[in-house]
Each structure stands twice: as structure tokens, then as C-alpha cells.
Amino acid sequence: MTQQINGQLIAEHNAQAAARVNLDYETLGEQLARRNVDTHVLKDQVARFAVAVPSWGVGTGGTRFARFPGLGEPRHVFDKIQDCGVIQQLVRCTPTVSPHFPWDKVSDYQELRQHAEAHGVGFDAVNSNTFSDQKDQPLSYKFGSLTHADAGVRAQAVAHNLECIDIGKQLGSKALTVWIGDGSNFPGQSHFRRQFERYLDSNRQIYDALPADWRMFLEHKMFEPAFYSTVIQDWGSSLLAAQTLGPKARCLVDLGHHAPNTNIEMIVARLVHARKLAGFHFNDSKYGDDDLDSGSINPFQLFLVFNELVDAAQTGAAEFDPAYMLDQSHNVTDPIESLMTSAVTVQRCYAQALLVDRTALTAYQDSNDVLMAAQTLKQAFHTDVTPLLQKIRMEAGGAADPVLAYRASGYRKQMAAIRPASGPSSGIV
């Protein structure tokens, strides 16, 4: 396997941290033992947690005003996979990459799959793109794609999704994510019911082409690029579509695709109940679809989401098998660093959710002891599981502190010497 970060450097980094990590881990173990938590069992559970990395996330993001490129940005999907391999090498909880087409289109997908395997990663759900026009595309998506009034445009969008399925089969993927920007910007622009019916009709054609062991992830978003109405604007529309299409269709929740202060954890509970939770695109936001680093604004909300997920898993919720992926835009940070810290944050919230005393919580809920029920959650959330995560990474060959090890490796500077700068972008304003 090709390792971009020198293994000896990681070993020396871990050796310097070992005494401190071991002492902190023992202290955490003593603390958890008093709460009747077996640290070894907990460690095994957390070590199995995995979250996918988006191929597009390793490049520098931007806004409608401008994009400021970083050093050594990936030039193509092979570079993206290499960067994703670096992330996995250091954090050891991101074993798969979610590709986006046609951005990641190549002539030989077996070569791409072998390249990924050589860098220690596989492929997660494939993502289609009918929210923007591509070079030499015959028909425009300016006024919609899967829901366009013109049958020819809809057929083109369906064909693209079928191509994504074919590519995914070659890469070893088992899911297709469908997010569309279709909607309207003015009252009267679109007929709401006919538009939704066209969405269902188009997706039926895609759904029927899914292999038997695949799933279809339907992603909702409140607004943008459409600002008056969006066809799949919330979890209700997504659920209605998924239930109409069939058992392989599920609802994908992006944390940034809701109004500020939306109770996303309750949406999770509802979708679990309906047996239609596909999984998550993790990120964080202050105002809208900000795509900030996971947990950077509201880590407690992320914990509460995992509280529902862990509860569903531990109570044996039917057809519960969520997929996890980061979906972020890194405008002012090194994307590799942001994705590493985000993966660790998501893993941290999962570990903290495992620490919730569910017997006590249930008793407090049933007796209407509001304060103690809330404090039970807070106790788990306030538990510093950093030593546990460090121990897991070190035992798996990752780094005690992924960012410090990454910076010490000089990887970004090495890539800057190989990959030419892409140049600034002026945005669209």
C-alpha cells in the first residue's frame, strides 16, 4: 500500500505522545469504571466507527464572491484519492471516499479503483450532478433537471444518474445519492404538484435501474439555488418520495440543509421510526448551508444527533443501517486538516453518545424528572474522550495528533511543488 506520510515519522510522533496518552487513557478508564462503563468494550465499539470523505472536499472551497486557492490542490480525482489516503492514514476512521460525477469522471474506472486500494481507501456512495451544466452538455439545467418541464431535459438527467450507477458498480459502491437544485425563484414560475410528480417519475426510472443490493439516497435542502421554492425542501417531501419509490429509497440528512435551530435530532428519530433513514452528510452551520467543519459551531447538536442514532442501534430499530459522510467546504483552512479534525469530531460525538446511561435516562424520562434527564445527556457530552480516540488511532497505525503529524510531514509543501496553482476565482457577483 502506498503511504504518503512516512511511517517512521508517525511512529516517532506517537512515541513522544505515548506516556501522556497512556496516563490520560488510564485516568479516563478509572472515571468511566465508576459509571460502570467498560473502557475496552467502548474502545472496540468506537474503533469500528467509520465516516466517508467527499472527493470534492479535499479541494479549496469558495463563495459566490470569490475563491482563494490553496497550495498543492488536487488537479484531478487521482490526486483527490491520494489526499483522502493521507487523511485515512492519520485518523484511521475514514476508509471510504464518496465520488461526484461528472467531476470525477475518468476513462478507466478499474484503474481508479486500484489507485484507491493502493492508497488504503475504497468507495462509498456515488453522487450525481444535475444542478449545474457541464461542458458540451446538450440541454441546460437552468430551469431544472429531473423535474424540468421539458421531457428531453428530464431524460438527459435520468441518463446521467444511470451512468453514475454504472460507474458505481465498477468502483464497488452500493448507493447513489440524488440531490437536485430544482425549484423556483418566483411565485407562479412552477406548478408545485406537477413538478413533484415529474420528480417521482424521473426517479422511478433511476430506482428501477438500481442493483438489488443498492440503495438510493434522496437528499433534501430548504433553499438554494432556488429561493422561492425547492422541490425536495424538507424531510417530509423526501420521506414522501422515498415511500413512493420503494424500500431501496431512503432519506439522506445534511445537517446544513435546514433552517437555523431546526431540531434535526427529532427528524432523525422520525426517519428511524419510518425505516427510511439513509444516513448523513456531516457539517456545521451558523446561518444556512455554510458547510463549515463538523462540530465547529454547535457540537452539542451533533452529539444529540448521535444520541438518537446510538439509541436506535441499541434498541434494535428495524432496517437501521445509516451511512455517514462528511460534506464540507473549506474556504480558509487546509482541507486535509479540516477533514481530519471533522472526522475526529464526528467520531468523538459517537463515543460520547455511547456513554449515555440509558437506563437512568429512561427512568428520568418516565418519571418526568426533566432536569436529571437533561443532566444525564450533559454528563456524557462533557466527558473528554480524547485519550480514547488517541489510543484507537495509535493502535491502528494512525497519529495521536493527526494535524501535528501532518504538518510535521511537510505533505502540503511537497504537493505544492508538484501540483501547479489553480489561480484565483472572482466569484459570480
pLDDT tier, 63 (very low <50, low <70, confident <90, very high otherwise): confident
pLDDT tier, 427 (very low <50, low <70, confident <90, very high otherwise): low
Residue 428 belongs to a domain: no
**Above 90 in pLDDT, residue 241?**
yes
Residue 253 belongs to a domain: yes
Residue 63 belongs to a domain: yes
What's the domain range around 298?
7-418
Task: CATH number of the domain at 387, please.
Answer: 3.20.20.150
Residue 1 belongs to a domain: no
pLDDT tens digits, 354-409: 999 999 999 999 999 999 999 999 999 999 999 999 999 999 999 999 999 999 99
Count of domains in the chain?
Answer: 1
* CA atoms of 14 and 390, how far apart (whole Å): 9
**For range 306-323, the mean pLDDT:** 98
Residue 152 belongs to a domain: yes
pLDDT tens digits, 251-261: 999 999 999 99
**For range 108-133, the mean pLDDT:** 98
Residue 423 belongs to a domain: no
What number of other Cβ atoms are within 10 A of residue 78's Cβ? 15
Beta bridge partners of 97: 53, 123
The pLDDT value given to residue 424: 67
* CA atoms of 189 and 206, how far apart (whole Å): 26
Residue 425 belongs to a domain: no
Residue 171 belongs to a domain: yes
**Above 80 in pLDDT, residue 426?**
no
Residue 417 CB partners (closer than 8 Å, separation 6+)? 72
Which residue, 175, 179, 172, is CA-closest to 157?
Answer: 179
pLDDT tens digits, 124-157: 999 999 999 999 999 999 999 999 999 999 999 9
The pLDDT value given to residue 421: 83
The pLDDT value given to residue 31: 98
